[in-house]
Amino acid sequence: MRKLLIVFIISIFTFYSVDAQVDRSQPPEPGPAPVIQIGDFESFEMDNGMTVIVVENRQVPVVSFQLTLDIDPVLEGDAKGYVSLAGSLLREGTTNRTKKEIDETIDFIGASLSTSSSGMFASSLTRHRETLLELMSDILMNPSFPEEELERLMNQTRSGLATTRNDASSMVANVSRAVVYGEDHPYGEVTTEESLDNVQRDMLRQYYEDHFKPNVAYMVIVGDINLDEAREVTETYFGSWEPGEVPTRTYPTPAPPDGRRVAVADRRGAVQSLVTVTHPVELQPGHEDAIKASVMNSILGGGAFSGRLMQNLREDKGYTYGARSNLSSDRLVGRFNARAEVRNAVTDSTVTEILYEMERMMQEPVEESSLELTRNFMTGSFARSLESPRTIANFALNTIRYDLPDDYYRTYLERLNEVSVEDVHEMANKHLNPDNAYIVVAGSKEEVIESLRPFSSTGVAELYDAFGRPVEEEELRPVPEGYTAETVMEQYIEAIGGRERLESIRDIRQEMTGRLMEQEVQMTIYKKAPHFLLQKTSMGGMTLSQQLFDGEKGVVVSQMGRQEFTEGAEFEQLKMESAIIPELSYKEFGIEKGLLGVEILEGQSAYKVEATYPDGSTVHNYYCTTSGLKVKTENDGGISTYDDYKEVDGFVIPFSITQEVGPQTIEVTVDNVEINQGLEEAIFVID
């Protein structure tokens, strides 16, 4: 019943001619590259070594300050996460101000201020400039790293990590980092709950004391300010910032694998896979190949809708809504990445087509028309970016930080216009490596892993967890002799109250509270034998949805409108959900069940029972081998985990339910349960 709606908004830029006598049978000759005037910037170096870059813009009375530290990344080891936390905690309190006082000051002047492990950004109206700078200076030079705020941030981080276990994008990102860069490179490290447990407050302070020095800092000031004013305010508020020695680090440069490797992150119950083909690339900022390589990537699958991956996988095959590629530069090591989200059934076909398009770029020269379209697209994107003063500031920062030629950005369009078909072919052969790449897939292991093995040069598809850690591919363990699905069902029924007690339940009312994206959601479920169901979901007093089944029809009311069903899949689904104890109604609903084996879940063994519905769909339920209780359910809609079982009037119910639906995780707590209260059939209506 879930529906996914993705809306693409595509902007197309065309050129017009006013000459009515133009011969339209011939394409026009390309003109010279447009001349674009890039705004000026000025810079100076303070006595403490901080470089200040000023981009004056008097159009609006706003000024922003961006502090960037030019430092080498840190290998964090078993405490991965502390560097990011150090950056976040900077603004959570100083020796002069509490977090509350900082927040109140920012709110009072209508400013914005954020910190990170590599700097700080703040912006306000010009008239509040002095207040903002005094606050920035205090945060920068007097952070207190309060213990209570660290604990709060760590709890937030842990909550975010919980969603990773079923978020395809996070899973692919983590596994890709792990395999491309490796554990000996800072880019290959992934934050986990275990690494957070090793984080100590002293680590955060030490990181700050080692790296936050003015002699490795760039301050980019943009807006309603001139050079003289910038000199005055930076000296006033940052002149006392003491310089010092900053650690430098070197790391081995990651190399592509010997042959192709396949890495699979098991996304249980998923009906789609996120497919990525990726490998490291030697491409630093300002590299002589940078512009030509970006043109090549744009033709393959960059920003333009006409990219070959998009045309192949979306327009021709209909596998996906979008397929893209990216070729990133980095002063340590760049990376190529092509990706698409597709149905499980076409996961292997998608890998085949991505590799095919990469190889075609290397073997066949591109069409001149395709090259011209890409150059026009990139010209328009570059021109639009210049509308923001921050773009000019970033150009200035990159020019100084990476020692680029002074005219690097002024001549960008000229060099873009000179990229030829031969250049594109050369870049494809130099920077694409389909035969030595990592194929990373987040999807249902059971449905995709066998079809992916042939892509590996070793014939092995390596398994990883959601955080990029290798895991052993475990076969289901055998069940005890004589055990069947019926045996497991009877143990479960006995564990939650026994058949006699369960069959005596005529009605039940449950009140639950869930949290979704920091929002609290209330749910109330009414069930009455034999087949009555009413479920209401609300937020902030407003009803979001209602589901009804009264034995004759099913009704779903949501923000999208009202739907009624008297037959079909939706009708049967609501009918099944109306059963007070679904396992007691399998025979009535025509559900076949089979015991597949024993699997280890979070350190405990569980019987894996497959329930096959009349429409052919399957659901996997897991029952603890010791307690008999149901601990997890996997189906096309996602994953539900059950915990904190409590007894209510002889009926044992899970009071904690975690539901993973796509990238979202909903934590549900049962607040109240009432059994056999004599619910009237009149309750089961929707106004």
- 8 versus 566: the higher-pLDDT residue is 566
Predicted confidence at residue 176, as pLDDT, reads: 97
For the segment 435-469, what is each residue's pLDDT rounded down to a tens digit?
A: 999 999 999 888 899 999 999 999 999 999 999 99
pLDDT band with cut points at 50, 70 and 90 for residue 34: low
CATH number of 485-683: 2.50.20.10
178's tokens: 């792990």
pLDDT greater than 50 at residue 27: no
pLDDT band with cut points at 50, 70 and 90 for residue 36: low
Same fold, 46-238 and 261-386+403-464: yes
pLDDT greater than 50 at residue 17: no
462's tokens: 């390596």
H or E segment at 146?
A: none
d(CA 410, CA 301): 26
H or E segment at 419?
A: none
pLDDT band with cut points at 50, 70 and 90 for residue 432: very high
Predicted confidence at residue 527, as pLDDT, reads: 94
pLDDT greater than 90 at residue 645: yes
Fold of domain 261-386+403-464: Cytochrome Bc1 Complex; Chain A, domain 1 (3.30.830)
Helix %, strand %, coil % of the chain (to 5): 35, 30, 35
Predicted confidence at residue 687, as pLDDT, reads: 64
pLDDT greater than 80 at residue 98: yes
Predicted confidence at residue 518, as pLDDT, reads: 66
- 242 versus 616: the higher-pLDDT residue is 242
H or E segment at 148?
A: helix 147-164
d(CA 319, CA 69): 43
Predicted confidence at residue 15, as pLDDT, reads: 25
Cα angle 57, 395, 111 (rounded to 5 degrees) comes to 50
Sign of the C-alpha dihedral computed for residues 517, 518, 524 and 527 taken in this order: positive
For the segment 557-595, what is each residue's pLDDT rounded down to a tens digit?
A: 988 888 988 888 788 888 888 899 888 888 888 899 999
d(CA 563, CA 572): 14
d(CA 194, CA 443): 24
Q: What ranges do the domains of the chain cover?
A: 46-238, 261-386+403-464, 485-683
d(CA 656, CA 530): 26
Residue 622: count other Cβ atoms within 10 Å of its Cβ: 23
d(CA 166, CA 592): 28
Cα angle 435, 441, 442 (rounded to 5 degrees) comes to 170
Q: Classify each residue of 288-314 as buried b or exposed e, where b means 16 or more C-beta atoms within 10 Å of its C-beta.
A: ebbbbbbbbbbbbbbebeebbbbebbb
Tell me the residue ranges of DSSP E strands in 475-580.
507-516, 519-528, 532-539, 542-549, 554-558, 561-565
3-class secondary structure, 477? strand
d(CA 429, CA 289): 12
For the segment 200-231, what is each residue's pLDDT rounded down to a tens digit?
A: 999 999 999 999 999 999 999 999 999 999 99
d(CA 206, CA 86): 9
For the segment 123-178, what is each residue's pLDDT rounded down to a tens digit?
A: 999 999 999 999 999 999 999 999 999 999 999 898 888 778 778 999 999 999 99
Sign of the C-alpha dihedral computed for residues 287, 289, 294 and 300 taken in this order: negative
Give the phi and the psi of residue 547 in degrees, each rounded to 5: -125, 135
Predicted confidence at residue 425, as pLDDT, reads: 96
What's the DSSP call for residue 312? I
Give the residue from 275, 197, 212 showing the smallest Cα distance to 247.
Answer: 212
Share of the chain above pLDDT 90, in %: 67
Q: Classify each residue of 585-618 as buried b or exposed e, where b means 16 or more C-beta atoms within 10 Å of its C-beta.
A: bbeeeebebebeebbeeeeeebbbbebebeeeee
d(CA 138, CA 521): 40
Average pLDDT on 603-612 reads: 90
3's tokens: 């529906």
pLDDT band with cut points at 50, 70 and 90 for residue 663: low
Q: Rounded to whole angstroms, what are the CA distances from 533 to 111, 508, 537, 686? A: 50, 10, 13, 11
d(CA 50, CA 119): 13
Share of the chain above pLDDT 70, in %: 93
Predicted confidence at residue 23, as pLDDT, reads: 47
Q: What is the mean pLDDT of the chain?
A: 88
Predicted confidence at residue 38, as pLDDT, reads: 60
Q: Rounded to whole angstroms, what are the CA distances from 208 to 49, 52, 143, 213, 602? A: 18, 21, 9, 9, 37
Residue 95: count other Cβ atoms within 10 Å of its Cβ: 9
d(CA 582, CA 455): 42
For the segment 491-520, what is each residue's pLDDT rounded down to a tens digit?
A: 999 999 999 999 999 999 999 998 766 678
Average pLDDT on 376-396 reads: 84
Predicted confidence at residue 159, as pLDDT, reads: 82
- For residue 285, what are the contacts with CB-CB under 8 A and spacing of at least 6? 329, 330, 331, 398, 402, 404
Give the residue from 247, 371, 355 showing the smallest Cα distance to 309.
Answer: 355
Predicted confidence at residue 406, as pLDDT, reads: 84
Partners of residue 521 on adjacent β-strands: 514
- For residue 544, what are the contacts with CB-CB under 8 A and spacing of at least 6? 521, 537, 538, 558, 559
**Rg, the chain, Cα only:** 30
Sign of the C-alpha dihedral computed for residues 398, 402, 406 and 407 taken in this order: negative
Average pLDDT on 322-330 reads: 94
CATH number of 46-238: 3.30.830.10
Predicted confidence at residue 306, as pLDDT, reads: 82
For the segment 350-377, what is each residue's pLDDT rounded down to a tens digit?
A: 999 999 999 999 999 999 999 999 999 8
pLDDT greater than 60 at residue 24: no
H or E segment at 137?
A: helix 129-141
3-class secondary structure, 240? coil
Predicted confidence at residue 474, as pLDDT, reads: 67
User: Residue 29 burial by CB count (10 A; 0-12/13-18/19+): exposed, middle or buried?
Assistant: exposed
